[in-house]
Amino acid sequence: MGLLNNMSFTGYYRKLCSNGHLWEEDVYGLDFCYCPHCGDTEIWHELVHTTNGLENSIVTKLKEEGYSEITCTDDIGNMYTKKITKYKIPHCNCKTQRVSSVNTNVTNISKKVLDKDFII
């Protein structure tokens, strides 16, 4: 029975911002909701499960939609431009629904505060 407690999970998140920039994060890393390329908010993600190898994972094939040119500054102040591939954002996303329900809940709480039904 002790062997069941030693099972592990490995994987990573693939994320897209509204500008179509793609980045990846380890499943156990910090969860950044902002694009490291342009600073925009994450609007799509998927979990890629790699515990038993990538060949067992279902990974969404993303369609390229051109490039963004982003101006960057290095550590000593030199400016340079880099091209970032842009991808079409897939239609299905549970996180978007979750975020809108959170926003609705915050709006409802704000209304109660304004109506003075909420006592601190």
Q: What is the DSSP letter of 42?
A: E
DSSP string, 68-106: EEEEEE-TTS-EEEEEEEEEPPPS--HHHHHHHHHHHHH
pTM here is 0.64
For the chain, percent of residues with pLDDT exceeding 90: 44
pLDDT in tens, 49-103: 888 876 667 788 999 999 999 998 999 999 999 999 999 999 764 544 444 334 4
